[in-house]
Each structure stands twice: as C-alpha cells, then as structure tokens.
Amino acid sequence: MRVSTLDQHPETQLHDLRQMAAQRSLEIVHEYTDRVSGAKARRPGLDQMMADARRGRFDVVLVWASDRLARSVKHFLEVLDELSRLNIEYVSFRENIDTGGPLGRAIIVVVGAVAELERALIVERVRAGMRRAKLEGHHIGRKALELDNTAIQRDRCQGQSLRQIAKAHRVSAATVRRVLSEHPPQALDKTA
C-alpha cells in the first residue's frame, strides 16, 4: 500500500487487500506501507518488501493498484521482472491483474516486450546522438589521462609504493601499475 501524504490514510487499500487475501485463502505474512510520494526513489516499505521477496518470505504480492507499487513505468517493469524471476505472483486489486494465471502471465510477457523495445529505442537514440556529436567534431567519452611517465618511474626508483605514487599523481594504483609495466623504470644515473 502507499499513500502520497501523511494526512492520507491507507485504510481503504488495506480493507480491500485483506478482503482479497481472505477470498483467495492467502495468509498475510506482512503488510508493507509507504507514506511518501510514488516519485521518491527511497521508499522504506517497498525496499523492505523487495528484500523480503529476495529472502523467499512470501509467494504472492497483493497491491491495491499498480501505481501504488512503482514510481514510473520503468520502475514498475523492473519490480515485476524481479518478482517474476523470484517466482512470486503479482496481483493488483484495481487493475485485476494476476500473474498466477495464463492471462496475467501473458500480460507480463507483453509488458516485458514493450520494456525491451523501449530500452532498444533508447540505446539507438544514444548511439545516433553520439554519431552526430562525432560528426560535429565533439569528443565522445572521457578525456585521456595525461601522465608524467618519467616522474612515475622516478618515484618508483626512489622506493615509493604504488599507493604513494598513485596518491601523488592523483590516479589509481592500477594506473600506476599499468604505466610501470608499459614503461619499466630504468636505474637512476648516479652521476647526474
């Protein structure tokens, strides 16, 4: 259940869901309620429900309405997909969707196909935008690191650790290791 503001009450949703659970002879193991806007990313009730789902604490999720569950179509599809992978049925009171039956499973397949199409279209739009930016002469991606290989080699020859060198040059230890493998330090000329 979810209500958007603190002055709203989930009792109507609660009554309908308890009645549906009784009609289906389902045992209620936990009731999850959020008193927050559906647009909020952090929702303690939903987060706890998904954690319990991953632990296998229930087999069916009853919701009053699909918009009570997720903050967007994308988020809704992600939640449905995860519940499906966990073999948890999804039942919505208002929309009368039940993934336990053949029609409900078909709806999930259609919804999943639409989501996959949406993701593919997004990827294609991103690629088209990157092609256009390249044609316009814009650099795509992160700028290459400008490293002082000689200074890194010198610091290593002076006995500094990879971590010390990395910190001094503001790069990762893995980057220092890569530079040293590509450009092994030479013994310092003692006469210089």
- Residue 191, pLDDT score: 45
How far from chain centre, in Å, is Cα 169?
A: 33
**For the segment 79-103, what is each residue's pLDDT rounded down to a tens digit?**
888 998 999 999 988 888 888 888 8
- What angle is formed at CA 40 by the lines to CA 38 and CA 44, rounded to 5 degrees? 90
- Catalogue the active-site residues: 4
Which position has the higher pLDDT, 158 or 186? 158
pLDDT digits (tens, 9 = 90+) for 22-68: 999 999 999 998 877 656 667 888 999 999 999 999 999 999 888 77
Q: Which pLDDT belongs to residue 41?
A: 61
The predicted structure's pLDDT at residue 79: 87
The reported pTM is 0.55
Angle at 93 between CA 89 and CA 98, to 5 degrees: 30
DSSP codes of every residue in 23-92 = HTTPPP-----EES-TT-S--HHHHHHHHHHHTT--SEEEES-HHHH-SSHHHHHHHHHHHHHTT-EEEE
- What is the pLDDT, as a whole number, of residue 173? 92
Mean pLDDT rounded to a whole number for the chain: 84
Instruction: Write down the pLDDT at residue 8.
Output: 63
Separation of alpha carbons 93 and 17, rounded Å: 7
Q: Is 136 exposed, middle or buried (0-12, 13-18, 19+ CB in 10 A)?
A: exposed
**Cβ–Cβ < 8 Å for 71, 40:** yes
